[in-house]
Structure 1
Amino acid sequence: MKIQEVLNIPASFFYHKVIDSVLYDIKAQTGETLTEDQLENYSYVKQFTKTTSARLTVTKLVPNEAYYYKTSTTQSEFNVKYDIQALSDHKIKVIYQEDIASQGFMRQMNDMLVGTIMGFVRSRNFKKMLKQIEQSY
């Protein structure tokens, strides 16, 4: 899935909203208080439900330009990229991409089916979230 949106906010504002969310999640999941400088290559286990967890790893961090992470489960690996392009001092283009690599034919087929069905809803909700960030500026 790939989503591109132009927002009327500075790149630094959007970037820090994303990073603050990541730091909050790490604190909630691990109890650790990190700084932005400690994030790249940082890895932690996130508990989604009582029986479901995944390992999240920050794979790339470029201030005001990029935030990439990987979510690994026993069956799949999700790679997510946030690229931020400054169009002016108060206008950015956010390019969000996610890819999934699953093990096993049936898992790949299931991911493709669910991705197709849920893709529209997830895309719409993600765009709403981007607009909420823009409005909070």
Structure 2
Amino acid sequence: MEVVKKLNIPAPVFYKKIIESVIYDIRVQTGKDVTEKQLNNFEYVKTFSKSQRAKIKIDKIEKDSAYHFSTSTTKNEFKVSYDITMIDDNSCEIRYAESMESYGTLQKMNDIVLSMLLGFFKKRQFKKMLEQMENS
């Protein structure tokens, strides 16, 4: 899935909101306080429920322009990228992309069917989230 959207907020403001969210998640999941400078290649385990955990790895971080991470479970690896392009002092373009590599034939088929069924709704929900970030 890929979403490209122009937002009427400066690139540094959008980037800061993403990084604050990441640092908060790391603190909640690990109890560690990290700084933005420590995020590149940072890895931690995130618990989603009693039986679901995943390893999160921050793959790329570039101030005001990029945030990429991967989430690995026993069933698949999910890669996400936020690429931020400054348009002018008051607006930016966000290019969000996600991909998933599943392990095992049955899991691959399941993930393909699920992504076909939910893809439209997921894109629409993501665009709404971007608009909420823009308005906050």
TM over 0.5, shorter chain: yes
Once the two structures are superposed, residues 9-37 of structure 1 have per-residue CA deviations (whole angstroms, 9 ceiling, x without a partner) of 00000000000000000000000000000
Letter in structure 1 aligned against 2:73? T
Letter in structure 2 aligned against 1:3? V
Give the secondary-structure state (helix, strand or coil) at the position aligned to 1:9: coil
Taking the TM superposition and a 5 Å limit, the aligned residue runs for 1:28-67 are 28-67=28-67
Q: TM-score, normalised by structure 1?
A: 0.98
Percent of pairs identical after alignment? Answer: 45
Identify the residue that residue 13 of structure 1 maps to in structure 2: 13
Give the secondary-structure state (helix, strand or coil) at the position aligned to 1:126: helix
Identify the residue that residue 70 of structure 1 maps to in structure 2: 70
Deviates more, 1:20-29 or 1:119-128: 119-128
Displacement of 1:73 after TM fit?
Answer: 0.3
RMSD: 0.6
Identify the residue that residue 26 of structure 1 maps to in structure 2: 26
Alignment partners' CA distance in 2, 1:121 and 1:47 = 25
Once the two structures are superposed, residues 87-115 of structure 1 have per-residue CA deviations (whole angstroms, 9 ceiling, x without a partner) of 11111110000000011111111111111
Alignment partners' CA distance in 2, 1:19 and 1:73 = 23
Identify the residue that residue 104 of structure 1 maps to in structure 2: 104
Give the secondary-structure state (helix, strand or coil) at the position aligned to 1:19: helix
Tell me, which stretches of 5 or more residues in structure 1 are unaligned? none
Alignment partners' CA distance in 1, 2:47 and 2:116 = 26
In the alignment of these two chains, the number of paired residues is 136
Once the two structures are superposed, residues 105-129 of structure 1 have per-residue CA deviations (whole angstroms, 9 ceiling, x without a partner) of 1111111111111111111111111
Deviates more, 1:50-59 or 1:115-124: 115-124
Give the secondary-structure state (helix, strand or coil) at the position aligned to 2:51: coil
Letter in structure 2 aligned against 1:33? D
Runs of 4+ in structure 1 deviating by more than 3 angstroms, as ranges, are none
Pair 1:90 & 2:90 matched = yes
Give the secondary-structure state (helix, strand or coil) at the position aligned to 2:5: strand
Q: TM-score, normalised by structure 2?
A: 0.98
